[in-house]
Amino acid sequence: MSDKKLMLVDDEEGIRRFLGLTLIDLGYSVETAENGEAALKLLETFQPAIVLTDIKMPRMDGIDLLKAIKSDYPHVEVIMLTGHGDLDLAIESLKFEAADFITKPINDDVLEISLGRVMEKIDMKNQLKEHTENLERLVEEKTQRIIELERQNAACQVVEGLSEALSSAANEVETGSGLFNELPCLVSIHNRYLEIVATNKLLKERLGDVVGYNSFDIYSDRNSAGNACPVQLTFETGKGQRSKETFISKDGEEIPVTVYTAPLPNQNGDIELVLDISVDMTELKRLRDELLETQYKFQRLFDESPCYISVQNKDFSIAEVNRRFKEDFDDPLGASCYSAYKHRDNPCEECPVQRTFTDGESHQMETVVTTRKGDQKNVLVWSAPIRNAYGEVIQVMEMSTDITEIRRLQDHLTSLGFMLGSMSHGVKGMLTALDGGIYRLESGLRKNDETRVAEAAKVLKNTVGRVKKMVLDILYYAKSREIDVEKIEASTFLTDTAAIVAPKAAAANIKFNIDIPDDLGTVTIDTSAMSATLVNFLENAVDACEIPVDGKEFEIGFSARDNGDSLSIVVTDNGTGMDPETRDKIFTLFFSSKGKKGTGIGLFISNQTIEQHGGKITVESESGKGTTFTISLPRTAESSKKPSGDTPRCNNI
């Protein structure tokens, strides 16, 4: 078995291919397997020194593979590969004698350092084996010499020879020469009475002069022979032991070590001594703690960033998200970004993530997203490439900053300018009408023509009413405006409202189903504002049914029901319907699904009017099947100002 032979086990072909190339560049002979069962079959013929395996795999995961390897091939070292969310499993794997674990995405420097440590461990085991063989040969030579010199008393000769061997080992320790002091480990020799009979210089420096102590005295958690230490287990089983233990230094500090023991038999095969070589794991533990601390810091920075962060694969599936993303959106892991953010079925146009995968550059765009609570947020999106060791873009990080409040302020100013500009032409026309009315009035007065005077007064009254309505609309955007409520019969009001839209539906050859009971009671509302709101919904329903479809008869519905303290008003149509993204934006200022035919103002104002009355709107819609608006309207709406938190929002994308 070559120590440079390595097996890579991962269910992802891309990781096996690219990580395999990295391992080959590091000088390893590499074979790969797609799961644990395939790895065990390959292990029989390939016989690697190191197995590098993912923790989460189908059929047989990394933990089960680790257990199987350690059961049948205890000399093979196993390094676990884990994601950020699998640290508990990675730490658990150390309990089953995994040599190390590395988190994904894999850093080449961390991989090289980890493999270097494992190779050092393997070299140390090989040296230990070689030294053990040398020690066995040394003991055999000493024993043969004792037999040749003292044949008369075999028992005395054995004791004398062992004493001489121990004396020689002790002399090597004292003089700083020989096998024991050359090893960079804590080395000790124990007799069958569980006594320490010799130690090397390094062990003496770290633990003090412990020769003559019980074998179990140097451990932190063993205080008698009843709590078997590795040396005692070696005497009992006749086999070498390997375990993670903790020594007590001469200063009372704990020293984490990995203990390797080997039996030293005499010529009769009886174990007379046990060699204990322990590797100090303090530095490894320190490096591991530093790594975990660094990972924690980066994870904390990732989670606490004041924006939405996601890491996306080439198929737009989300691999990682930060805490802020999880709080505002449904569990996105594995889902596509456009479904989590926008409720779309396909990628957005000019998607910055797609552009980054194409050219490897960062890109920016502004858009509107919808949270799990239905709140719409304006976000500024930046994308950045994540590259592998070969410079290839393997993932893209997308950062989205919430700029909703900024856009609300901008949109409020924009809406004022838009409304003033769009209404200026109307004001000009109404001024012309006033001039004409005044002229006709003056002419009628001069000629004493009562008919002309009456007609002029009617024109002036109508024009003044239009001016009043326009001024109120301007004030609606410029500042908070109270609604003017009055108590009316609900059935009569709703029937009269339906009559306004009936001619338009008839002209479009659309069936108009009206279901307004006569006993709905009274409601206290702003009749002018609420009538305009309901007419807006009904006219939109008619517009949704204007595109002809072969074999389909279009119809709209207008119904109401008494719910005690409130009325339920429903407007339905079986027209074009809306996709989820359009449905989420219909109450956004200036957003219109009608193209140039719509201004994007009507539904925004309608929504504001219903909220001023204390009501709520729910929308159900499906493309090609139609839309249903359900309005819950309190029977009594006290005069109230426009809600302060609902400044206009403009969808700029």
Find, among 412, 531, 406, 407, the residue nearest to 477 by Cα: 412
Q: Which residues contact 394 (CB under 8 A, 6 or more apart)?
A: 314, 386, 387, 388
Instruction: Give the pLDDT of residue 647.
Output: 40
Tell me: cis bond preceding 105? Omega within 30 of 0 counts: yes
The backbone torsions φ and ψ at residue 333, rounded to the nearest 5 degrees and listed phi first, read -60, 125
Instruction: Give the pLDDT of residue 6.
Output: 93
Kindly give the residue spans of alpha helices, DSSP state H, lying in 224-308: 230-237, 282-304
Here the tokens at position 96 are 């089953």
What is the spatial distance between Cα 562 and Cα 137, in angstroms, rounded to a whole number?
A: 102
Determine contact, residues 69/119, Cβ cutoff 8 Å.
Answer: no
Exposed, middle or buried, 203 (CB in 10 Å: 0-12/13-18/19+)?
Answer: buried
What is the spatial distance between Cα 577 and Cα 91, in angstroms, rounded to a whole number?
A: 53
Determine contact, residues 378/368, Cβ cutoff 8 Å.
Answer: yes
Instruction: Give the pLDDT of residue 641.
Output: 45
Here the tokens at position 254 are 């704990």
Q: How many CB atoms lie within 10 A of CB 474?
A: 16
Determine contact, residues 589/411, Cβ cutoff 8 Å.
Answer: yes
Crossing angle (nearest 10°) for helices 404-447 and 450-478? 170
Instruction: Give the pLDDT of residue 548.
Output: 80
What is 457-468 written as a DSSP string? Answer: HHHHHHHHHHHH
Exposed, middle or buried, 58 (CB in 10 Å: 0-12/13-18/19+)?
Answer: exposed
DSSP reduced 3-state for 614: coil
Instruction: Give the pLDDT of residue 568.
Output: 93
| 470-477 contacts, C-beta under 8 A, 24 or more apart | 470/423, 470/426, 470/427, 470/430, 473/419, 473/423, 474/419, 474/420, 474/423, 476/605, 476/608, 476/642, 477/412, 477/415, 477/416, 477/419, 477/648
Pairing of strands 5-9, 271-280: unpaired
Q: Which residues contact 649 (CB under 8 A, 6 or more apart)?
A: 376, 378, 404, 407, 408, 411, 588, 589
What is 21-55 written as a DSSP string? Answer: HHHHHTT-EEEEESSHHHHHHHHHHH--SEEEEES
Determine contact, residues 647/406, Cβ cutoff 8 Å.
Answer: no
- List average pLDDT for each run of 10 residues in the chain, which is 653 residues long: 79 88 90 91 91 88 90 90 76 86 86 90 85 78 69 45 50 55 82 90 89 90 81 91 90 90 86 89 76 79 82 88 83 74 74 90 86 82 89 90 80 62 60 77 84 82 71 54 82 90 87 92 88 87 85 91 92 90 73 53 78 90 91 78 42 33
Separation of first and last alpha carbons in the chain:
63
Torsion 532-538-543-546 (CA) sign: negative
Here the tokens at position 18 are 């690219």
What is the spatial distance between Cα 216 and Cα 229, in angstroms, rounded to a whole number?
A: 6
Here the tokens at position 608 are 């504001």
Instruction: Give the pLDDT of residue 491.
Output: 92
